[in-house]
């Protein structure tokens, strides 16, 4: 089977390289048959990368420890679920996942466009296969998952215990769907630049791919946050680890792109800017993969280290040089005679939203690379840690939330004063009342009042939009309110899907703001029978339980939890000592409600049973995950076919 | 209305810029949040629960009990591990660049966006004016006549 895998990778590499060259030759020389051959080659690449992937899965499931990869990332005691997730637990496997996903996406793109975009497609195919060739080259010559060991060990090392969590099944896969997905709009953008076919056609054709990539990148980040929250055991969900930042940056620029292409579609403006955004987003996607997979920066993701860094740097450099050169070459044809009817318009508010989104991505990038800058200029190593990113990004994100409220209410082209008053009066009053209510309650910190009020403002504007639309249908078409609401959404899917996405983001923002600003923590040392409190929770430590399982030794504390005198149950934060791994793994215990999480960490213990705990109350964290679900719902709505597309409208 | 809205927004943003987030309670945590754990985890001392972080927290607590100030305690750790132990760049000297550049970038970008928008609005108004000037009543009458003829021909076909 491994030999088959290796052979499949080699065939895939050769065929992908051929598909790229054939597509380019076909279009230059006008050979229709060669183009068809290139198209078929892409199907072949998909088939052979599938064979290679199945071969790796078989090796993992069949416990073929003669393979270095299988021995390093799996062991006999692992369940089928985690054995499968070992596929992307290490470098080689995750690179194969990249290549396999891209080959499948390329197949779908070629099939979708078999009758369309005859001018663009050869170049789209060449760019996709160029990228595919790079990954297959790495897999074949530098990081093959099918390398054999000289001596077959009786068992493998097993997957890093930190990765043995359901979140790790979904986090890398969704993130990769996002990273790889951005290859498609990028390939179309390059094809548009090469052919000089610079209208909005390529943008329309890639709207769903962009939405798909953007959504999965966001979802990947949320899964990652959820994994960090329950698995890393430090009480938070986002640590601004360089790899986290690296997956967040393309999401930010991708969000900017999703908004700014609307202006190109409606007004044929911002063509250069949109090109820049998709190039940056794709380059950041490769950069994100590179950071995870090369170990250039030290981070909690260092289990992915290897020596493929220079190859990635080279590829990234090639992408940037190739893209920028093409862009400069076409600059004169991209210059659109941008016109705007008014400074106060949807278009201008979108531009500021773009500025802030790109600004946040830049601030994150700047923070990530500043230690290198400092070392180069001053020769002094410094750290740019989580507090920096929080302090710099918080005001930027709040400003983005302001614009999220404002943008949808300002009309396209020109907003009159009456229009502004009509649209903003009620949300503004609602926000002021909300702020007052917060202030009258116990929320006094200016940051919290501002953050929650702004979120309320956005929710008010969105609800107003739904209300107005529903009322209009009810009046003019005599539909019942529920039917009117349903039809309103169904007949304007991109728009109302977008509003749901905004709602999801606001829920996430509320969860982040509340848990950052009102986190409460108590670090205690308790003897069995002693109690401690955090907020209004009382915890009585009953003692330690130690027991072995098939793969690990568990030390769990038993704590009786009550709130305001009412018994809630027992909780058991633990440390797990996995066989073959020196460092124990922290297993937190979390009690979640809609209002707050009680988050318990066992940090250590003595022989006499005395134990150290961190007792944390994290308010409203569950709303981050609920926000993710709303985001999913909104994206699915925006993704569904819309009647306007059939009649060729925007 | 527009001006009021802008004033309110700028006041709010100003509040945001000067306000600092509330950290987890306790003087130890406040200092621990400004120090990076040295176990290689890339977490702050306040977040990490490894032995190194615990030791650093104990040191902070001991110094606080001795009456040392936050600055003195941070200086002690910098002396021990170098500047790399601080969780954020200092807000002075070369490191100030780290803090200023993101906001300077956004302010410059906002200026560029504003100038571009003004140019586009100006261009749009200019085009409107040209259109108004160039079409005379006679031309309008001529177009109307042509439209009438075309419609008549269309109806007749």
Nearest to A7 by CA among A67, A55, A65, A76: A55
Q: How big is the A-B interface in CB pairs under 8 Å? A: 180
**Sign of the dihedral through C-alpha A18, A20, A25, A31:** positive
CB-based contacts of B64: which residues, under 8 Å, 6+ apart? Answer: B27, B28, B31, B73
Say whether B21 and A586 touch across the interface (CB within 8 A). Answer: no
User: Could you read off the pLDDT of A143-163 as tens digits, one per residue?
Assistant: 899 999 988 888 888 777 777
Rounded to 5°, the CA angle A234-A240-A242 comes to 120
Is residue B129 within 8 angstroms of chain A, CB to CB? no
Check A521 against B29: CB less than 8 A apart.
Answer: yes
d(CA A128, CA A109): 10
Q: What is the pLDDT of residue A623?
A: 96
Distances (CA, A) of A286 to A183, A202, A229: 9, 22, 26
Q: Which residues contact A301 (CB under 8 A, 6 or more apart)?
A: A241, A243, A291, A292
- Disruptive mutation site among A245, A340, A391, A525 for chain B (greatest number of B CBs within 10 Å): A340
Domain boundary among A338, A372, A398: A338
**Given phi > 0 = left and psi -120 to 50 = alpha, else beta, which region is A412?**
beta
Distances (CA, A) of A333 to A61, A194, A328: 54, 12, 10
Chain A residue numbers touching B127 (CB-CB < 8 A): 339
Reading the block at residue A225, the tokens are 């946050």
Residue B133 confidence (pLDDT) above 60: no
**Minimum CA–CA partner of A243 in chain B:** B42
Closest-CA distance, B154 to chain A, in angstroms, reads 25
Distance CA B69, CA A75 (A): 51
Which region among A191-200, A393-402, A432-441, A581-590 has the lowest average model confidence (pLDDT)? A581-590
Measured between CB atoms, does A398 come within 8 Å of chain B? yes
pLDDT value at residue A54: 96
Contact A556, A545 (CB under 8 A): yes
DSSP A262-314: HHHHHHS--HHHHHHHHHHHHHHHHHHHHHHHH--S-STTGGG--TTHHHHHH
What is the dihedral angle through the alpha carbons of A34, A40, A41, A46, rounded to the nearest 10 degrees?
160
> Is some CB atom of chain B closer than 8 A to the CB atom of A366?
yes
Least confident of A49-63, A141-155, A207-221: A141-155
Domain membership flag for residue A169: yes
* Range B132-146 average pLDDT: 67
Residue A300, Ramachandran bin (φ over 0: left; ψ between -120 and 50: alpha; else beta): alpha
Interface-testing mutation among A235, A351, A353, A389, with chain B (most B C-beta atoms within 10 A): A351
- The predicted-structure confidence for A233-269, as pLDDT tens digits, reads as follows 878 898 888 888 999 999 999 999 999 998 888 877 7
Is 50 exceeded by the pLDDT of residue A303?
no
Closest-CA distance, B60 to chain A, in angstroms, reads 14
Q: Compare A168 and A37 and report the one with higher pLDDT.
A: A37
* A402 with B12: Cβ contact below 8 A: yes
Q: Which pLDDT score is estimated for B155?
A: 64
Between A552 and A297, where is the model more confident?
A: A552
**What is the mean pLDDT of the segment spanning B95-108?**
94
Q: Measure Cα distances from A480 to A470, A485, A557 in Å.
A: 9, 9, 57
Distance between CA atoms of A281 and A296, rounded to whole angstroms?
20
pLDDT of residue A586: 86
Q: What confidence tens digit (pLDDT) does each residue in B51-96 have?
A: 788 889 889 989 998 989 999 999 999 999 988 899 999 988 899 9
**So what's the pLDDT on residue A346?**
82
Cα atoms found within 13 Å of the Cα of residue A573, Cβ hemisphere only: 30
Q: How far are the Cα atoms of A447, B100, B130 from residue B12, in angstroms, in the given order?
A: 10, 20, 42
- Would you say residue B24 has pLDDT above 60? no
pLDDT at A626 over 70: yes
- CA-based nearest residue to A397, from A224, A252, A211, A278: A252
Q: Which residues of B touch A398 (CB under 8 A)?
A: 13, 16
Q: How sure is the predictor about B18, in pLDDT bands with cuts at 50, 70 and 90?
A: very low
What φ, ψ does residue A376 adopt, rounded to 5°? Answer: -70, -40
CA-nearest residue to B128 within chain A is: A341
Partner-chain contact B42 A300, CB within 8 Å: yes
Binary contact (A417, B1; C-beta < 8 A): yes
Is the pLDDT reported for residue A296 higher than 80? no
Would residue A187 count as lying in a domain?
yes
Instruction: Report the pLDDT averaged over residues B150-154.
Output: 75
pLDDT for the residue numbered B3: 46
Cβ atoms of residues A46 and A107 within 8 Å: yes
Find where tokens 């509340």 sit. Answer: A514
User: Is A338's CB within 8 Å of B120's CB?
Assistant: yes
State how far the Cα of A580 lies from the Cα of A381, in Å rounded to an integer.
Answer: 34
Give a yes or no: residue A249 inside a domain: yes
Q: What is the pLDDT of residue A617?
A: 95
Cβ–Cβ < 8 Å for B23, B33: yes
Residues of chain A neighbouring B26 (CB-CB closer than 8 A): 521
Model ipTM over 0.95: no
Share of chain A above pLDDT 70, in %: 95
- Contact predicate A171/A220, CB 8 Å: yes
Return the percentage of chain A with pLDDT > 90, whole number: 56
The residue count for chain B: 157
Considering only residues 77 to 96 of chain B, which have any Cβ-Cβ distance to chain A shorter than 8 Å?
Answer: 82-89, 94-95
Of A408, A411, A409, the closest CA to residue A497 belongs to: A408
Confidence at residue A327, expressed as pLDDT on a 0 to 100 scale: 93
Minimum Cα–Cα distance from A414: chain B residue: B121
Q: What is the mean pLDDT of residues A61-79?
A: 90
Nearest C-alpha in A relative to B57: A523
Q: Which two tokens stand for residue A325?
A: 């050169």
CA–CA distances in Å: residue A310 to residues A98, A136, A179 = 18, 16, 20
Residue A241's nearest CA partner among A389, A98, A20 is A389
Give A446's contacts in chain B (Cβ within 8 Å).
15, 19
Contact assignment for A394 to B83 by CB distance below 8 Å: no
- Residue A277's pLDDT is what? 95
Q: Comparing A570 with A244, which gets the higher pLDDT?
A: A570
> Is A127:A185 a contact under the CB 8 Å cutoff?
no
Chain B closest-CA separation from residue A378 CA (Å): 8
Measured CA to CA, the distance from residue B64 to residue B68 in angstroms comes to 5
The residue written with tokens 């229009």 in the block is A419
Cβ contact (<8 Å) for B19 and A352?
no
Q: Is the CB of residue A433 less than 8 Å away from at least one CB of chain B? A: no
The length of chain A in residues reads: 650
Residue B25 has what pLDDT?
A: 42
d(CA A639, CA A645): 12
- Nearest CA distance, B28 vs chain A (angstrom): 11
Among all residues of chain B, which has the CA nearest to that of A389?
A: B88
pLDDT for position A298: 46
Assigned CATH for B21-88: 1.10.8.640
Q: Name the minimum distance, in Å, from the CA of A99 to any CA of chain B.
A: 30
Could you write out the three-class secondary structure of A445-460?
A: CHHHHHHHHHHHHHHH
**CA distance to partner chain B, nearest, from residue A602 (Å):** 9
Asked whether the beta carbons of residue B117 and residue A520 sit closer than 8 angstroms, the reply is no
The H or E element containing residue A191 is helix A183-195
Query: Are A74 and A56 spatial neighbours (Cβ–Cβ below 8 Å)?
Result: no
- CB-CB under 8 Å, A363 with B102: yes
Question: Closest to B82 (Cβ–Cβ): which among A341, A373, A381?
Answer: A381
CA–CA gap between residue A137 and residue A113 (Å, rounded): 27
Average pLDDT over residues A315-335: 91
Q: What is the mean pLDDT of residues A375-404?
A: 91
Provide the pLDDT confidence category of residue A295 given band limits of 50, 70 and 90. low
- Look at residue A425 in the predicted model and tell me its pLDDT: 86
Range with lowest mean pLDDT among A113-122, A205-214, A453-462, A637-646: A637-646
Q: Which residue of A has its CA nearest to B88?
A: A384
Distance from CA of A44 to the nearest CA of B (A): 43
What mean pLDDT is reported for chain A? 88
Query: pLDDT at residue A565 above 90?
Result: no
A592 pLDDT more than 70: yes
Contact A33, A122 (CB under 8 A): no
Both tokens of A334, joined, read: 């991209």
Contact B98 A366 (CB under 8 A): yes
pLDDT of the residue at A168: 80
What is the residue-wise DSSP string for A9-28? HHHHHHHHHHHHHHHHHHHH
Can you list the alpha helix ranges (DSSP code H) found in A444-575? 446-477, 481-491, 493-517
Q: Is the pLDDT of residue A204 over 50?
A: yes
Instruction: Work out the minimum CA distance from B56 to partner chain A, whole angstroms.
Output: 14
| Res. A372: pLDDT tops 90 | no
Subunit contact B94:A233, Cβ cutoff 8 A: no
The domain total for chain A is 2
**Mean pLDDT value across residues A539-549:** 92
**How many helices and strands in chain A, by DSSP H and E?**
22, 10
Question: Which region among A237-241, A402-406, B124-128 has the lowest average model confidence (pLDDT)?
Answer: B124-128
A127 closest CA partner among A182, A178, A176, A186:
A186
Segment 48-77 of chain B within 8 Å of chain A by CB: 48-49, 51, 54, 57
Of A3-12, A442-451, B110-119, where does the model show the most confidence? A3-12
- What percentage of chain B reaches a pLDDT higher than 70? 71
Residue of A nearest to B100 (CA): A392
Task: With CB atoms and an 8 Å threshold, state whether A383 touches B17.
Answer: no
**E strand or H helix at A612, and its extent?**
strand A611-619
Model pLDDT, residue A422: 79
Cβ pair A38, A51 in contact under 8 A: no
> Which one has a higher pLDDT value, A189 or A407?
A189
Range of the domain at A531: 520-623
Segment among A564-573, B15-24, B90-99 with least mean pLDDT: B15-24
Q: Which DSSP helix (H) or strand (E) runs through A604?
A: strand A596-605
Would you place residue A75 in the very low, low, confident or very high pLDDT band (cuts 50, 70, 90)?
confident
The model's pLDDT over A474-498, given as tens digits with 9 standing for 90+, comes to 988 888 889 999 999 998 898 899 9
CB A140 within 8 Å of CB A13: yes
Query: B154, B139, B102, B86: which is closest to A249 by C-alpha?
Result: B102
The pLDDT confidence band at residue A337, using thresholds 50, 70 and 90, is low
CB within 8 Å: A396 and B34: no
Q: Does A521 touch chain B (CB under 8 A)?
A: yes
Tell me the C-alpha distance between A644 and B3, whole Å: 37
pLDDT of res. A165: 77
């Amino acid at each position: 089977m491994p030999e088959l895998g290796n052979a499949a990778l080699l065939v895939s590499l050769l065929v992908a390289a051929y598909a790229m060259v054939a597509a380019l030759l076909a279009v230059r020389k006008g050979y229709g048959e060669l183009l068809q051959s290139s198209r078929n080659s892409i199907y072949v690449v998909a088939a052979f990368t599938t064979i290679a992937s199945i071969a790796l899965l078989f090796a993992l499931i069949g416990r073929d420890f003669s393979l270095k990869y299988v021995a390093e990332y799996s062991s006999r005691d692992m369940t089928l679920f985690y054995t499968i997730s070992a596929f992307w637990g290490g470098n080689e496997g995750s690179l194969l996942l990249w290549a396999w996903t891209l080959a499948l996406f390329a197949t779908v793109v070629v099939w979708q466009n078999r009758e369309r975009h005859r001018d663009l497609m050869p170049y789209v195919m060449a760019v996709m296969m160029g990228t595919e060739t790079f990954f297959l080259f790495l897999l074949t010559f530098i990081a093959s998952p099918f390398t054999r060991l000289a001596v077959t060990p009786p068992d493998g090392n097993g997957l890093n215990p930190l990765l043995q969590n359901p979140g790790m099944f979904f986090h890398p896969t969704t993130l990769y769907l996002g990273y790889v997905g951005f290859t498609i709009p990028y390939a179309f953008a390059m094809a548009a630049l090469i052919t000089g076919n610079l209208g909005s056609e390529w943008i329309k054709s890639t709207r769903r791919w962009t939405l798909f990539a953007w959504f999965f990148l966001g979802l990947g980040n949320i899964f990652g946050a959820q994994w960090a929250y329950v698995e890393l055991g430090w009480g938070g969900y986002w640590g601004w680890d360089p790899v986290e930042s690296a997956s967040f940056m393309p999401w930010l620029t991708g969000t900017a792109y999703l908004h700014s292409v609307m202006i190109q579609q409606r007004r044929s403006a911002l063509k250069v800017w949109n090109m820049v955004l998709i190039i940056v987003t794709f380059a950041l996607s490769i950069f994100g993969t590179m950071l995870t997979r090369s170990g250039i920066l030290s981070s909690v993701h260092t289990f992915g280290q290897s020596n493929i860094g220079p190859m990635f740097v080279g590829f990234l450099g090639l992408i940037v040089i190739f893209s920028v050169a093409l862009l400069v070459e076409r600059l004169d044809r991209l210059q659109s005679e941008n016109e705007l009817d008014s400074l106060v318009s949807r278009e201008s508010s979108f531009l500021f939203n773009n500025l802030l989104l790109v600004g946040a991505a830049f601030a994150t990038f700047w923070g990530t690379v500043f230690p290198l800058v400092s070392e180069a200029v001053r020769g002094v190593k410094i750290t740019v840690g989580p507090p920096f990113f929080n302090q710099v990004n918080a005001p930027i994100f709040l400003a983005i939330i302001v614009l999220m409220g404002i943008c949808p209410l300002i009309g396209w082209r020109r907003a009159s004063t009456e229009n502004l008053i009509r649209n903003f009066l009620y949300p503004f009053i609602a926000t002021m009342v909300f702020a007052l209510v917060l202030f009258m309650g116990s929320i006094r910190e200016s940051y919290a009042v501002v953050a929650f009020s702004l979120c309320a403002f956005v929710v008010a504007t969105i609800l107003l939009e739904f209300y107005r639309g529903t009322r209009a249908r009810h009046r003019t078409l005599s539909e019942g309110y529920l039917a009117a609401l349903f039809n309103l959404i169904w007949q304007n899917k991109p728009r109302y899907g977008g509003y749901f996405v905004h709602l999801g983001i606001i829920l996430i923002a509320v969860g982040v703001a509340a848990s950052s600003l009102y986190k409460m923590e108590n670090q205690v040392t308790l003897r069995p029978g002693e109690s401690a409190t955090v907020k209004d929770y009382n915890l009585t430590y009953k003692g330690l339980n130690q027991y072995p399982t098939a793969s690990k030794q568990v030390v769990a504390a038993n704590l009786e939890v009550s709130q305001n005198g009412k018994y809630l149950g027992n909780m058991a934060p633990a440390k797990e000592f996995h066989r073959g791994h020196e460092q124990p793994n922290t297993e937190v215990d979390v009690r979640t409600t809609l209002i707050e999480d009680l988050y318990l960490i066992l940090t250590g213990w003595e022989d006499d049973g005395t134990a150290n705990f961190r007792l944390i109350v994290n308010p409203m964290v569950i709303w981050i995950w609920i926000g993710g679900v709303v985001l999913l719902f909104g994206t699915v709505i925006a993704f569904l076919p819309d009647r306007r597309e059939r009649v060729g409208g925007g | 209305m527009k001006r009021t809205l802008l004033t309110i927004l700028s006041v709010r943003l100003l509040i945001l810029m000067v306000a600092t987030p509330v950290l987890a309670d306790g003087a130890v945590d406040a200092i621990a949040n400004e120090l990076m754990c040295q176990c290689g985890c890339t977490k702050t001392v306040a977040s990490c629960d490894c032995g190194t972080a615990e030791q650093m927290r104990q040191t902070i607590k001991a110094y606080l009990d001795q009456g040392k100030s936050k600055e003195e305690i941070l200086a002690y750790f910098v002396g021990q591990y170098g500047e790399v132990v601080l969780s954020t760049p200092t807000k002075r000297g070369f490191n100030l660049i780290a803090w200023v550049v993101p906001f300077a970038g956004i302010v410059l970008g906002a200026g560029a966006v504003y100038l571009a928008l003004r140019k586009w609005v100006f261009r749009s108004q200019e085009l409107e004016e040209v259109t108004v000037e160039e079409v005379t009543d006679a031309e309008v009458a001529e177009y109307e006549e042509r439209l009438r003829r075309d419609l008549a021909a269309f109806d007749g076909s």
